[in-house]
């Protein structure tokens, strides 16, 4: 079979660093990225879940209690870690999104690890990266990261414009996601916005090829994403199969229990660092644990 060229497929991931459903979808997305490897263009569009225009909560403590229960309910479905205690509901997605977008300028591996750290601020630490200082601190110690450049880029007009463009794009959903059949905890129908429009539910993957596109909204199993790829580009997907747990920990540096189940085989090495959460452990490579705010005292982490 003749395989499509490298740029035959674009995958757009509409997401937010602080979204619990996006966090719960990471196992399937990690597997999909491995199966597609370098044969596609994978682009993240930051939709801004917590926006500046949102009205402040009249009772922050009550809002935090409600949101903690909401995240716990999602975690019960996804089995993803959740913080033992959530300190607050995020005030804004802008700082984390700007830092995540700025990290892309330092290469895909750095960007992956910075985004992972930003997600873990809320779902492991319970302290969402909703200020510039917290978002930059979350990225501290990421291998090959230039923290000075990250701070400069995150504050730049260019990166802010890129995130603005992401936000606007997320508010132009394709018609297929305006009405989505139910039957799953998060089917992913587009959300209404205060101005009467819509934005993609998070996460949503949009697959684009010369022959058309497929939208896969909400939280779906890996097989749903694989089917969309196969419909557009037959033969492009190359499932690598499970990695030995030791290799997966070396590659990803941070693994949840759902990721262990979907992506790995065999036992984790004895040197894996276990971090307790409210819904099972997070496993860290020791080099990651040495600089990760969840595994070192917060005073030393700069939090």
Give the orientation angle of helix 157-170 with respect to helix 147-154, to 10 degrees.
60
pLDDT, one tens digit for every residue, the chain (303 residues): 344 444 599 999 999 999 999 999 999 999 999 999 989 999 999 999 999 766 777 899 999 999 999 999 999 999 999 999 999 999 999 999 999 999 999 999 999 999 999 999 999 999 999 999 999 999 999 999 999 999 999 999 999 999 999 999 999 999 999 999 888 899 999 999 999 999 999 999 999 999 899 999 999 999 999 999 999 999 999 988 999 999 999 999 999 999 999 999 999 999 999 999 999 999 999 999 999 999 875 434 444
Read off the pTM.
Answer: 0.94
Helix H, strand E, coil C: the string for 54-103 is: CCCCCCHHHHHHHHHHHHHHHHHHHCCCCCCCCCCCCCCCHHHHHHHHHH
Tell me the Ramachandran region of residue 237: left when phi exceeds 0, alpha when psi lies from -120 to 50, beta otherwise.
beta
């Amino acid at each position: 079979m003749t395989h499509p060229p490298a740029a035959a497929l674009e995958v757009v991931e509409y997401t937010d660093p602080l979204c619990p459903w996006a966090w719960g979808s990471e196992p399937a997305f990690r597997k999909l990225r491995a199966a597609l490897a370098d044969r596609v263009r994978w682009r993240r569009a930051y939709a801004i879940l917590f926006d500046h225009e949102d009205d402040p909560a009249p009772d922050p403590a009550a809002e935090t209690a409600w949101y903690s229960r909401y995240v716990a309910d999602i975690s019960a479905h996804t089995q993803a870690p959740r913080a033992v205690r959530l300190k607050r509901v995020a005030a804004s997605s802008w700082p984390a999104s700007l830092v995540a977008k700025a990290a892309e300028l330092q290469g895909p591996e750095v960007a992956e690890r910075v985004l992972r750290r930003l997600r873990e601020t809320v779902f492991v630490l319970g302290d969402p990266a909703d200020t510039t200082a917290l978002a930059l601190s979350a990225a501290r110690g990421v291998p090959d990261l230039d923290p000075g450049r990250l701070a400069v880029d995150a504050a730049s007009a260019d990166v802010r414009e890129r995130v603005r463009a992401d936000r606007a794009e997320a508010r132009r959903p394709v018609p297929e996601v305006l009405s989505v059949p139910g039957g799953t905890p998060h089917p992913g129908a587009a959300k209404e916005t205060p101005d009467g429009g819509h934005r993609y539910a998070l996460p949503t993957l949009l697959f684009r090829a010369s022959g058309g596109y497929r939208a896969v909204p909400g939280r779906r199993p890996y097989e749903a994403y694989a089917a969309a790829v196969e419909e557009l580009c037959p033969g492009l997907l190359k499932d690598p199969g499970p990695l030995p747990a030791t290799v997966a920990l070396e590659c990803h540096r941070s693994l949840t229990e759902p990721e262990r189940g979907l992506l790995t085989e065999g036992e984790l090495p004895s040197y894996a660092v276990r971090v307790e959460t409210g819904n099972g452990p997070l496993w860290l490579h020791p080099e990651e644990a040495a600089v990760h705010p969840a595994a070192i005292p917060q005073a030393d982490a700069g939090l």
